[in-house]
């Protein structure tokens, strides 16, 4: 049974019908060769392996100094932290 109303959701401009959903589900259930899947988008790698997120608490003064430095360097707070850690830990 197909939804025939004009308010169908779309994916990349293609209407998402019940038939499309069934076809995609059948394709997924048959399995994919992960070696042939191409990587799409996402964040660029920043090192030799996938990066970990490390939460850290900063007092207001340190946070303010971090944001000021990031703006001055025209970069992100994360990049400022990575640079500081590399310099302090003597890691390339």
| Residue 10, H or E segment | strand 10-11
> Which of helix, strand or coil describes residue 19?
helix
d(CA 32, CA 38): 11
Q: What is the dihedral of CA 34, 38, 42, 46, to 10 degrees?
A: 80
Strand partners, 14: 11
Residue 80 burial (CB count, 10 A): 19
- pTM, two decimals, is 0.53
Which tens digits make up the pLDDT trace of 28-61? 888 888 777 776 667 777 777 778 889 999 999 9
Is the pLDDT at 22 greater than 50? The verdict is: yes
């Amino acid at each position: 049974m197909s939804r025939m109303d004009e308010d169908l959701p779309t994916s990349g401009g293609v209407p998402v019908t019940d038939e499309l959903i069934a076809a995609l589900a059948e394709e997924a259930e048959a399995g994919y060769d992960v070696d042939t899947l191409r990587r799409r988008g996402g964040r660029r790698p920043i090192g030799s392996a996938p990066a970990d997120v490390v939460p850290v608490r900063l007092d207001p003064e340190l946070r303010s100094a971090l944001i000021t430095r990031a703006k001055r360097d025209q970069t992100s707070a994360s990049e400022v932290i990575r640079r500081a850690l590399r310099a302090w830990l003597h890691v390339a």
